[in-house]
């Protein structure tokens, strides 16, 4: 299997990480899943690739690099400082990523509806009190509220209208997010799913689930 270099993020400083999620095990797991699935991604020939909650911009920049910049890359984050960092990361690595400050993909709808071939989300997934979700502090990078699902559950019903007919969606989840329940909810909306990769990092059991339309539905 080809091995791809992590994009350069040496331009980001501890001061940036006071406001923006610092790349961590979950970030690297998502990049590893993309690398592992690269043959399928090449076959897909994606024209529009989108990351929600891009943080530092490392993952969408990685995707643009491994696909040789051959598609349109768009990223969002609700945190405007993260959006700025992501722009710097793309430029540092000589790839073009359109970064927009937005809650989920709200600022890009309805334009993007039905047009996303590859969607990525490493969400705020930690189980926390609900009040911490969507706060203006760095805690909103990881605070997922009840079952760590409050942000994930707002996105899921939008997936059918966002993805193109061939679109795929890679979602990072924690065991406490009840991945089987998420897969069932997506199956009810006509999506098949498979676990691409899983890893235990410290106390966290993380996995990457890939969703795609069930051809029989």
Ligand X SMILES: C[S@@+](CC[C@H](N)C(=O)[O-])C[C@H]1O[C@@H](n2cnc3c(N)ncnc32)[C@H](O)[C@@H]1O
Site residues (vs ligand X, CB under 6 A): 21, 23, 26-27, 30, 52-56, 58-59, 76-79, 82, 103-104, 122-124, 140-142, 151
Shortest separation between residue 22's beta carbon and ligand X, angstroms: 8
Shortest separation between residue 155's beta carbon and ligand X, angstroms: 8
Closest residue (Cβ) to ligand X? 53
Q: How far apart are CA 102 and CA 106, in angstroms?
A: 6
Q: Which is nearer to ligand X, 43 or 136 (CB)?
A: 136
Angle between helices 58-66 and 25-36 (to 10 degrees): 20
Q: Which is nearer to ligand X, 67 or 208 (CB)?
A: 208
Shortest separation between residue 165's beta carbon and ligand X, angstroms: 25
DSSP assignment of 32-76: HHHHHTHHHHHHH--SEEEEES-TTSHHHHHHHHHTTT-SEEEEE
Q: How far apart are CA 124 and CA 112, in angstroms?
A: 23
Q: Which is nearer to ligand X, 151 or 186 (CB)?
A: 151
Shortest separation between residue 135's beta carbon and ligand X, angstroms: 10
């Amino acid at each position: 299997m080809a091995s791809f270099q992590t994009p350069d993020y040496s331009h980001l400083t501890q001061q940036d990480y006071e406001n923006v999620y610092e790349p961590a095990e979950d970030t690297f797991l998502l990049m590893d899943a993309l690398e592992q699935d690269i043959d399928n991604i090449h076959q897909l020939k994606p024209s529009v690739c989108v990351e929600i909650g891009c943080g530092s911009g490392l993952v969408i920049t990685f995707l643009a690099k491994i696909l040789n910049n051959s598609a349109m890359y768009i990223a969002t984050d609700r945190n405007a400082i993260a959006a700025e960092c992501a722009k710097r990361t793309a430029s540092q690595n000589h790839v073009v990523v359109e970064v927009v400050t937005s809650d989920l993909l709200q600022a890009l709808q309805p334009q993007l509806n039905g047009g996303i071939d590859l969607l990525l989300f490493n969400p705020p997934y930690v189980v926390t009190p609900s009040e911490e979700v969507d706060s203006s502090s760095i805690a909103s990078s990881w605070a997922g509220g009840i079952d760590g699902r409050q942000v994930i559950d707002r996105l899921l019903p939008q997936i059918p209208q966002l993805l193109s007919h061939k679109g795929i969606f890679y979602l990072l989840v924690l065991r406490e997010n009840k991945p089987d329940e998420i897969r069932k909810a997506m199956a009810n909306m006509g999506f098949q799913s498979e676990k691409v990769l899983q890893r235990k990092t410290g106390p966290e059991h993380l996995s990457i689930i890939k969703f795609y339309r069930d051809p029989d539905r």
